[in-house]
């Protein structure tokens, strides 16, 4: 929580507390929206997933054609491990995408909770009003 560079504090203690609180909240909200934009799911991400699947399938077909079929044991061994590698790579990237999506959903939930909390009067402010 860093105050803006152009922040000039007030001499009144209550006013100073409110100004600092407002400046910190504004800075935090701005940072939250920047992170939200970075984490939002882009329109081209499903295309990357499809291209990755096609490329993996192409790798498996290529290795299937390039391994000499003279030794069936060697062929099965190399093909199995290569296919497992491609499958693992694909699943790992899918898991990362799922976690990023979960982080976005968590951000939305926390943002809503913060907005609801911000709309409710603070207990110190409510006591001052009485």
Q: Say if CB 27 and CB 2 are below 8 A apart.
A: yes
For 52, list phi and psi in degrees, rounded to 5.
Answer: -65, -40
User: Is a pLDDT exceeding 80 seen at residue 125?
Assistant: no
| pLDDT one-digit tens code per residue, 3-58 | 566 766 666 777 777 777 777 777 777 777 777 777 777 788 788 888 888 988 88
Report yes or no: 99 and 39 within 8 Å, Cβ to Cβ: no
Question: Predicted confidence band at 115 (pLDDT cuts at 50, 70, 90)?
Answer: confident
Structure tokens at 65: 């054609």
* Cα 49–chain centre separation: 17
Q: Within 13 Å, how many C-alpha atoms sit on residue 74's CB side?
A: 6
Q: pLDDT tens, 88-104?
A: 988 988 888 888 888 88
CA 88/CA 13 separation, integer angstroms:
59
Given a contact cutoff of 8 angstroms between Cβ atoms, the answer to whether 65 and 4 are in contact is: no
pLDDT on residue 110: 83
Query: What is the arithmetic mean of pLDDT over 97-121?
Result: 81
Residue 122's pLDDT is 61
pTM greater than the 0.75 cutoff: no
**Per-residue pLDDT for 73 more than 80?**
yes
């Amino acid at each position: 929580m860093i105050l803006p560079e152009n922040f000039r504090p007030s001499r009144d203690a209550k006013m100073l507390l409110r100004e600092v609180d407002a400046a910190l909240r504004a800075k935090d909200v701005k940072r939250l929206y920047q992170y939200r934009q970075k984490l939002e799911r882009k329109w081209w991400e499903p295309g990357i997933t499809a291209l990755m699947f096609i490329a993996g399938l192409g790798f498996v077909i290529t290795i299937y054609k390039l391994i000499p079929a003279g030794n069936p044991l060697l062929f099965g061994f190399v093909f199995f491990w290569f296919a497992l590698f491609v499958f693992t790579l694909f699943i790992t990237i899918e898991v990362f995408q799922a976690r990023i999506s979960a982080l976005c959903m968590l951000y939305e939930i926390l943002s809503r909770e913060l907005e609801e909390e911000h709309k409710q009067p603070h207990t110190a402010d409510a006591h001052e009003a009485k």
